């Protein structure tokens, strides 16, 4: 069965970690946004203020949709991408409370300004709101990684996948 899973969330909530574990468990390709952006040059420029690439979301979305239409299964992790919802099986939005997110982002060497900005975005549920505006409610699930280990988060994600798409794991 073809399986397309999208994983979104504020920086540091655990998207890449979960996507790697899921991909291994379900033998799916893991598509990490920044890898694709760098490999195919899907960016419009560089934002010096944000210290980040300006992603060409149109090209990334097109790449993912074409991949899906050609029959590929994959698990995507990265910033919100708005694919045709009918091509997607499941959307996972990860969360992490500020007290833990602060530690994770600090460990990465983020500035305190950037850390607090991300915690504020997380507290407001910005990513979840944007994602739920686009994808249908029966495909969007949230997972809290705050006090979970990566293996526990994997287990919760597998339970959701089993329930929602009756995928034999
Ligand atoms: N339950 C958990 N699930 C996932 N990651 C966890 C969990 N608990 C702790 N972590 C840790 O959180 C940190 C951030 O994880 P990760 O790099 O996967 O986040 P991310 O959402 O991909 O961030 P970014 O948006 O910057 O790519 C890692 O050090 C990871 O080990
Ligand atoms: Mg990541």
Banded pLDDT at 167 (limits 50, 70, 90): low
91: pLDDT strictly greater than 90: yes
Beta bridge partners of 144: 95
| C-alpha–C-alpha distance, residues 56 and 39, integer Å | 13
Does residue 160 sit in helix, strand or coil?
A: helix
Residue 49: predicted pLDDT: 85
* First and final C-alpha spacing in the chain: 11
| Stated pTM of the model | 0.95
Distance from residue 7's CA to the centre of ligand 2 (Å): 10
Residue (of 72, 1, 69, 70) closest to 31 by Cα position: 72
Share of the chain above pLDDT 90, in %: 92
Residue (of 52, 130, 141) closest to 89 by Cα position: 141
Name every protein residue with a CB atom under 6 angstroms from any ligand 1 atom. Answer: 9, 11-18, 77, 104, 145, 148-150, 153
Question: Mind giving me the DSSP string for 73-103?
Answer: -EEEESS-----GGG-SEEEEEE--HHHHHH
Residue 2: predicted pLDDT: 87
User: Would you say 153 and 100 are in contact if contact means Cβ atoms under 8 Å apart?
Assistant: no
Place of tokens 């990684």: 145
Instruction: Report the nearest-CA residue for atom 12 of ligand 1.
Output: 14
Average pLDDT over the chain reads: 95
Instruction: Report the nearest-CA residue for atom 15 of ligand 1.
Output: 14
Q: Which domains does the chain have, with CATH numbers?
A: 4-41+72-79+86-152 (3.40.50.300)
pLDDT tens for residues 109-158? 999 999 999 999 999 999 999 999 999 999 999 999 999 999 999 999 99
């Amino acid at each position: 069965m073809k399986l397309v899973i999208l994983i979104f969330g504020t920086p540091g909530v655990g998207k890449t970690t979960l996507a790697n574990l899921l991909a291994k468990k379900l033998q799916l390709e893991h598509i990490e946004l920044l890898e694709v952006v760098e490999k195919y040059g899907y960016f419009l420029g560089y934002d010096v203020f944000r210290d980040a690439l300006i992603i060409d979301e149109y090209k990334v979305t097109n790449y993912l949709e074409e991949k899906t239409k050609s029959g590929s299964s994959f698990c995507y992790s990265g910033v919100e991408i708005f694919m045709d919802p009918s091509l997607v099986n499941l959307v996972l939005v990860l969360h992490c409370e500020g007290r833990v997110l602060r530690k994770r982002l600090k460990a990465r060497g983020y500035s305190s300004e950037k850390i607090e900005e991300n915690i504020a975005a997380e507290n407001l549920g910005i990513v979840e709101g944007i994602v739920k505006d686009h994808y249908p409610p029966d495909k969007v699930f949230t997972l809290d990684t705050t006090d979970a280990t990566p293996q526990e988060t994997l287990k919760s994600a597998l339970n959701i996948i089993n329930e929602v798409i009756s995928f034999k794991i």
